[in-house]
Amino acid sequence: MNAPAPQGIGLQVRDLCKSYNGHAVLNHLTFDVPAGEIFVLMGPSGSGKTVLLKHLIGLESPDAGEILVAGQPVSDPGVMTRYRVAMVFQSGALLNSLTVGENVGLYLSEHRLKPPADIARVVAEKLELLGLKGTTDKTPAELSGGMKKRVAIARALVVEPQLIFYDEPTSELDPLIAVTIGREILNLNRRLQVTSIVVTHDRDLAFGIADRVALLHEGEILALGSPDDVQANPNPLVQRFLKADFRFTPEPALP
């Protein structure tokens, strides 16, 4: 039996540049993310990951170069509505005044995209997909850190995304829970055939789930390829990062 065709959409970055006060933060970045791939952007604090993510989701405009989503400029206001794009924030960004179910279904209810009964069905389906059956009426304060991350992922899934961005999905989690979140991302990508772009400082996550990894350093790509390719890269800077006995410090969360 043939594997299902990817439902995701591709993303292309072409010669992307960004400077602040004369300091280059992104320096002629070029890479492609094919539909259906898990692409991980990894690097230490200050490498440019957060700035790049802001550009990829259209929050900032580059000084030069372009970003294409499904062949269309991300600067086109219609791109993010024409295609189904979701974001999983580093903090989870759950509203404490709402229940888990209300948080997950918020986009659908606020935009009146489905009647309440259908929203409830979709919410229950996504929560069960993430192993969160029975949490609909709980509040975020009643959840563990790992559960909050999974609720945030469930909320992203209600739009049936073609492209999902994850911002530091394992930050502030203990190693065992971080492994669980990595498995969830990997399983969802395979099951739903979406495109996933993961921004992380977590080397274990990066090399555990990625189809390809891009290692950033001072706004440039030091290494790009499969996890095996990147780990075998002879560049001394790459090897210094990979052999360091400390975990990279995550960059600040997106506002």
pLDDT at 245 over 60: no
Averaged confidence pLDDT in the chain:
88
Helices assigned H by DSSP within 10-164? 49-56, 79-82, 100-104, 106-110, 116-129, 145-157
Q: In which band, very low, low, confident or very high, does the pLDDT at 250 lie, cut at 50, 70 and 90?
A: very low
pLDDT above 90 coverage of the chain, percent: 57
Please name the residues in contact with 37: beta carbons below 8 A apart, sequence gap of 6 or more: 8, 195, 196, 211, 212
Q: Mean of the pLDDT values across residues 139-150?
A: 90
Rounded alpha-carbon distances, angstroms, from residue 32 to 37, 40, 218: 10, 12, 20
Distance CA 182, CA 189 (A): 11
pLDDT in tens, 79-117: 777 888 999 987 768 888 999 999 999 988 888 878 899
The whole-number pLDDT of residue 251 equals: 52
pLDDT above 70 coverage of the chain, percent: 93
Q: Which of 97, 153, 145, 93 is nearest to 127 (CA)?
A: 153
Please name the residues in contact with 115: beta carbons below 8 A apart, sequence gap of 6 or more: none
Buried b (16+ CB within 10 A) or exposed e, 211-236: ebbbbbbbbebbbbeebeebbebeee
Q: Which of 219, 174, 170, 179 is nearest to 198 (CA)?
A: 170
Domains in the chain: boundaries: 7-84+163-245, 88-160
The whole-number pLDDT of residue 137 equals: 94
Architecture of the domain spanning 7-84+163-245: 3-Layer(aba) Sandwich (3.40)
- Comparing 118-132, 181-195, 232-246, the range with the smallest average pLDDT is 232-246
Q: At what angle do helices 145-157 and 116-129 cross, to 10 degrees?
A: 130
pLDDT at 78 over 90: no
pLDDT at 174 over 90: no
The whole-number pLDDT of residue 4 equals: 45
Helix H or strand E segment including 213:
strand 212-217
